[in-house]
Structure 1
Amino acid sequence: MTEFGFIDSIRRLFADLDGNGFEAIGDDCTVVPVSAGESMVLTCDLLAEQVHFLRDRTTPYELGGKSLAVNLSDVAAMGAAPVATLLALSLPRDATDAWAEEFMRGYHDMSLRHGVALVGGDTTASASGIVISVTAIGRAPSGHIKRRSAARAGDRIFVGDVLGASGAGLQDILAGRNDTEAARIHRNPEPQIAEGIWLGARTEVHAMMDLSDGLASDLRHILAASGVGAELDIECIPAYADPQEAVCAGEDYKLLLTADPCRAERLQADFRARFGKPLHPVGRITEERKLRWLLGGKPQPLDWHGFTHY
């Protein structure tokens, strides 16, 4: 069973239960209306030692900040502003006391930076490695919420920043090069929170999500949810180094979105004026339900995919 096959089986198993106002599984966050014109979004992510991080290659302060940052990225990808989190920690005996205090200091400083309260959680002992679970909560005007299912044929596809630095950093870390720029980026992701909130307010933006498993995999979630296909121009992908690594490596936590082609140039200009950097066009949405890779305008026989847990 693949990771997303498992998720699909869970979705089917629970389809007979009333969602009590919450949207079903399928986006970066679930959504529930909380008042006239406003909605709350909620998401939960796990980080497990030896899967998402190596304890001897990252400081507890960095890990505390990253644990929160990757969850805030999901909230921003819905076009919402993060407001609160819950934190659950399972810690082995050698990660209590000084390690735990430094982890919480990193989590606190990231919370303070984005004005996000820690409002609850849980702690327990672990017989082996560290496990971190964060639940992030956000709010937004209901009309600003962006979903994976809203892409339309003809839309331009954009990414919010350069891709592949985190993947290159992981390779540096595994090779013992812990002090490179890419290694630092991998340990200290910068999710596009302000950008996500701003893009949520733009009506020309249709579908949006964040890039956690790599463009090659994450775009497929938008395509499946929207019932469309896409063409990606390899030469347009803003790669940190290698284009394949940029679309396959994952953990960039940058935004992926589709937008009305008639208003795409204005969106790009306004984004640059607001954030001082470009919104990168990388392809377009098509009616044919396939993902095609183009080089020099010609289809390439590539079967690129991003990270998968199973």
Structure 2
Amino acid sequence: MKIDEIGEFGLIGRIAAAFRPLIPTGWEGIGDDCAVIPWSDDRSVVVTTDLLIENVHFLRDRISAYDLGYKVLAVNLSDIAAMGATPAATFLSLGLPADGVGVEWCDRFFEGYRSFGVPLLGGDTTASPQGIVVNVTVLGIAENDRIKRRNGAEAGDLIVVTGPLGDSAAGLQALLADLPTTPEIAALIEAHHRPRPHLAEGEWLGREADVHALMDVSDGVASDLGHILRASGVGAEIDTASLPVSDRLRKTATEQGWKPLKLALTGGEDYVLLGTVAPARFEELQARFTARFGRPLAVIGRCVAGPAEIRYDGKPLDFSGFKHF
């Protein structure tokens, strides 16, 4: 059997099943944005790791060394945010080819990596026979009663996101099409190269008991919401008219003939947070979130009782996010 026959999550499921008996009691392994390791009576360490490979996750000739250093850490910090945790330390392993990567490139890469102010405690460096390979591990700290997971969604919960969707995917399309750099396209490309992990929003939402489930949007809402639904045993109804799409994306999509709805649902790499919230006190929570962050949570749908399926405007549509295999 080939890996592409079972897909990324089929492979992960096989690995998780093999190692589940070895996980100590009270520890949480594969299945959420981070692993959870008990540290004290009231706190835990959360751990995430991510691998980025040249020509799969980034194009070296289209991204600066600074932006790559920024992005490889940003995508991991987003996982920490999704658990309601605070980043504490990082580890970095870097495989570098001999061609075209010099000391100056490395200096700029680490300037970008350093921009978040999170310590780098160690890692590894090696030669790569072809292309740049980066692996980042981040440790975070969270109070146990504030850790958010994917399995807490309940029927009736409102489904929310903390920012616009589709900008990063549109930025990638602009890069691949080598479009002229208008102000809108420059902003979309920046959204792709320098995504902002919603750390402050994650910590804030982690303190809220009415926030039941949380994760980040890395592979697209159409895929990532499915993880919450399967973990929680509920379905979802999405109102596509409520998806938060930026004016710059709408303008560029109109000019280029793109479908903003598809970019918003399937593009991925927005690294906003996706969560479910109890409806009873949502207005009060929304008011406080808006006062703190200067914008509201975007309500894009509702969880419903039933199988872990997504309906869009009342219809089952064939949307799926990024697939690694």
The answer to whether TM tops 0.5 is: yes
Structure-1-length-normalised TM-score? 0.95
1:140 and 2:142 matched: yes
Q: Deviations over 1:257-299 (max 9, x none)?
A: 001110111111111000001100011111111434343xxx2
Q: What stretches of structure 2 of length at least 5 have no aligned partner?
A: 1-5, 251-259
1:174 and 2:176 matched: yes
CA distance in structure 2 between the aligned counterparts of 1:224 and 1:249, rounded to whole angstroms:
21
Superposed counterparts of 1:1-310, under 5 Å: 1-19=6-24, 21-94=26-99, 95-110=101-116, 112=117, 116-177=118-179, 179=181, 180-240=186-246, 241=250, 242-295=260-313, 299-310=314-325
CA distance in structure 2 between the aligned counterparts of 1:165 and 1:186, rounded to whole angstroms:
7
Tell me by how many angstroms 1:178 deviates: 7.2
Q: Percent identity?
A: 51
Structure 1 residues 79 and 272: alpha-carbon distance in aligned structure 2, compared to 1, 3 A threshold: same
Structure 1 residues 42 and 230: alpha-carbon distance in aligned structure 2, compared to 1, 3 A threshold: same
Tell me by how many angstroms 1:20 deviates: 6.0
Say if 1:79 and 1:199, in contact at 8 Å, map to a contact too. yes
Q: How many correspondences in the alignment?
A: 303
Q: Deviations over 1:87-136 (max 9, x none)?
A: 110000122312111111111123x2xxx111111111100010100001
Tell me by how many angstroms 1:184 deviates: 1.4
Residue equivalent to 2:256: none
Tell me by how many angstroms 1:195 deviates: 0.4
Say if 1:178 and 1:184, in contact at 8 Å, map to a contact too. no
Tell me by how many angstroms 1:146 deviates: 0.2
Say if 1:80 and 1:196, in contact at 8 Å, map to a contact too. yes
Structure 1 residues 292 and 22: alpha-carbon distance in aligned structure 2, compared to 1, 3 A threshold: closer
Say if 1:294 and 1:300, in contact at 8 Å, map to a contact too. yes
CA distance in structure 2 between the aligned counterparts of 1:19 and 1:284, rounded to whole angstroms:
35
Alignment root-mean-square deviation, CA: 1.2
Structure 1 residues 124 and 268: alpha-carbon distance in aligned structure 2, compared to 1, 3 A threshold: same
CA distance in structure 1 between the aligned counterparts of 2:32 and 2:17, rounded to whole angstroms:
15
Secondary structure (helix, strand or coil) at the match of 1:199 reads helix
CA distance in structure 2 between the aligned counterparts of 1:121 and 1:53, rounded to whole angstroms:
21
The structure in which a higher percent of residues are strand is 1
Secondary structure (helix, strand or coil) at the match of 1:15 reads helix
Structure 1 residues 178 and 289: alpha-carbon distance in aligned structure 2, compared to 1, 3 A threshold: farther
Say if 2:157 and 2:279, in contact at 8 Å, map to a contact too. yes
Say if 1:57 and 1:178, in contact at 8 Å, map to a contact too. no
CA distance in structure 2 between the aligned counterparts of 1:59 and 1:16, rounded to whole angstroms:
43
Secondary structure (helix, strand or coil) at the match of 1:14 reads helix
Tell me by how many angstroms 1:181 deviates: 1.4
CA distance in structure 2 between the aligned counterparts of 1:178 and 1:102, rounded to whole angstroms:
26
Question: Which amino acid counterpart does residue 309 of structure 1 have in structure 2?
Answer: H
Question: Which amino acid counterpart does residue 6 of structure 1 have in structure 2?
Answer: L
Residue equivalent to 2:257: none
Secondary structure (helix, strand or coil) at the match of 1:16 reads helix
Tell me by how many angstroms 1:83 deviates: 1.0
Question: Which amino acid counterpart does residue 209 of structure 2 have in structure 1?
Answer: T
CA distance in structure 2 between the aligned counterparts of 1:148 and 1:78, rounded to whole angstroms:
9
* Larger displacement relative to structure 2 (9-18 or 205-214): 9-18
Say if 1:87 and 1:134, in contact at 8 Å, map to a contact too. yes
CA distance in structure 1 between the aligned counterparts of 2:308 and 2:47, rounded to whole angstroms:
31
Tell me by how many angstroms 1:207 deviates: 0.3
Say if 2:226 and 2:308, in contact at 8 Å, map to a contact too. no
Structure-2-length-normalised TM-score? 0.91
* Larger displacement relative to structure 2 (38-47 or 13-22): 13-22
Question: Which amino acid counterpart does residue 323 of structure 2 have in structure 1?
Answer: T
CA distance in structure 2 between the aligned counterparts of 1:204 and 1:137, rounded to whole angstroms:
26
- Moved runs in structure 1, 4+ residues, more than 4 A? none
CA distance in structure 2 between the aligned counterparts of 1:134 and 1:186, rounded to whole angstroms:
18
Q: What stretches of structure 1 of length at least 5 have no aligned partner?
A: none
Question: Which amino acid counterpart does residue 170 of structure 1 have in structure 2?
Answer: L
CA distance in structure 2 between the aligned counterparts of 1:164 and 1:274, rounded to whole angstroms:
24
